[in-house]
Amino acid sequence: MKNDSAWLEDSTVQQWFKKIDNERTIKNYTWEFPKFLKFAKMKPCDMVQQRLDQLATNDPIKRRFFEDKYVEFKHTLENAELRKNTVKSYLRTVQSFFANNNVKLILTKNDTKVRTRDSEDIVPTQWTPSNEEIRVLYRMAQTARDRAILLTLYSGYSEVDVASMQIQRFPFYDDKGNWQLKPNEDLYHARLRSKTKILQQSVINREALEEIRIMLQSRGFPKEGYLFVSFRDKPLGVRGINDAMKEIVQRAFNGKAKEWETKHLRDAFMNALEKAKIPQKIADVMVGHKPEGAKSNYEVQQETIMTLYPDVFKFLTINGFGSQSRKLEEMDTKFTEQLKALTDLITELKGERDGLKAELTAIKEGQNTLSKKIDAFEDFKDTVERKLNIKQRVPID
């Protein structure tokens, strides 16, 4: 079968995608499923019909036709030296097609197990960054946007959900567009995960919020639109987020860049939940996993999340319970206030000095006036004494 878009018009494919109801997943399936169509050399509707016929037979070989075809396809992918996760992704697509057309494949554990070349001899490595390594990544991020993305992912949200975040869904501003969130306070945030539609109740911490504030300030504090955008103001998307994080890792830990996956930031958040000894039910809710058993039947309150979160944040903070930029701003504010107080004091002292100068001038003027009066009095006294002496010399008849 040719690898074109005609298969998308097939009724079984349309039924499949209708049940998925997730644009990103459908996009991935649209790209991956043609590989199986090319391998099987069959139309999607013919696969479903043949599968129905096979399930109705008692012949075990015929009943497993598509299971065997699935295994053959798996081996083809393994021999193509694709990455293990890539092979699994193709296989999940095949399983999804049959399952959503009500002819689910009945697969054993060995059927689904993927072996790539030398996989049995290679010890798998996964780099889940420590808090100290996150701090290095933070310092190597060159923009507030990239720091905000890093810390939001480190708050337990996936790349898909971070890419879909929109400004108007957060209480950032009041009606007049003034920033409303207080410094050094965390923000409770609940959302349905884009991929699973499971409610995630977690927190965007104060350090991430501070970088978000700085980022939005540089964009003129927009009140709507995607939270994270490219430098051309286009939605950043999952690929853009992954590329941005990869660049930071290459600057910070170039030798480990091959081991990096953005989802490891979410893994690091889960490790913080473990260190803080958060109950499993709450931990599941905070990462958007469906709790198992009876625990899935009751809701977790916002107050519960916010009460437990400080214990988690102790293992997440990268600036010692406060954003570095906020600390600098607070220092600048404090310096400005101190400078104003000092200026006011100097002004007051100058006023007192000028007042003293005026009083001193008035005293000097008073002294001069008094001196003149004394001199005038002395002159008057001399005149009186002279007149008295003259009168004493005149004889009296």
Q: CB of 241 within 8 A of CB of 163?
A: yes
Instruction: Say yes or no to pLDDT of 323 above 80.
Output: no
Structure tokens at 195: 């991929």
Structure tokens at 56: 């109705």
C-alpha span between 198 and 213 (Å, rounded): 28
Question: DSSP of 226-244, one letter per residue?
Answer: BSSB-TTSSB-HHHHHHHH
Instruction: Say yes or no to pLDDT of 110 above 90.
Output: no
Across residues 149-164, what is the average pLDDT? 94
pLDDT in tens, 6-55: 899 999 999 999 898 788 889 889 999 999 999 989 999 999 999 998 88
C-alpha span between 256 and 91 (Å, rounded): 29
User: Would the pTM of this model clear 0.75, i.e. be above it?
Assistant: no
Dihedral of CA atoms 239, 245, 247, 248 in degrees, nearest 10, equals 170
Across residues 139-161, what is the average pLDDT? 94
Q: Phi/psi zone of residue 320: left (φ > 0), alpha (ψ -120 to 50 degrees), beta?
A: left
C-alpha span between 38 and 66 (Å, rounded): 15
